Structures are given as structure tokens and as C-alpha cells.
Amino acid sequence: MVRRLFWTALGATAGVLAMRKLASTAKAYTPEGVAQGLSGLGEGLRELAAAVRESMAERDAELRLALGIDEGAMDAGVAQSLIEHPTSPRPVGPPSNSPPRF
């Protein structure tokens, strides 16, 4: 008798857990569930776009300086070094006539 009661309770518990799991999975595929899943993706894409825009602006400024578009911002030696070694460390601080500090 106790053995039957145990197996019945175990079967009922497993059935309830399986139904709850199926219900939550089915809810995830409803339009509301998909919208909730995509809202986190949208925020990540916005952060990625902001980082890309920031990097583009930084690289644009480096190129403008290296090509001499912004006259007087960088001396010719530093500009030539930037062109020849684009991945080397960048000078720190405001532009000056002194050698670059790394």
C-alpha cells in the first residue's frame, strides 16, 4: 500500500514538473515570449552600435591627423610614424612640438 502511494506521488510530481516545463517552453514561443527574448538582444545591438560609432570617430580623428587634414594638430614626424606603424602606441596628451610620450 505504501509502495503504491509512493509511486503515485512520484508520478504526479513528475507529471506536474513536466507540464510546467512544457508550459514555460510554449510561452517562450508565443509573440509575447519572443518579444521579451528579443528586447535583450535589442539593447545589446544598441550598445554594439555605440561602441562602433565611438571607434569610428576615434579612427577618423587619427586618420585626419595623419593625413594632415587638421593642419597644425600634429607635427610631420609623428604623422609619418602613425602612417608607418598604425598599431603602435599613440601619443598621450595634447599635441606639442616635443617628442611623443608613450
Mean pLDDT confidence for 54-62: 91
**Is 0.75 topped by the overall pTM?**
no
Tell me the pLDDT band of 74, cut-offs 50, 70 and 90. low
Confidence check: pLDDT of 12 > 80: yes
Q: What is the enclosing helix (H) or strand (E) of 31?
A: helix 31-67
Residue type, 34: V
Is 82 within 8 Å of 66 (Cβ atoms)? Answer: yes
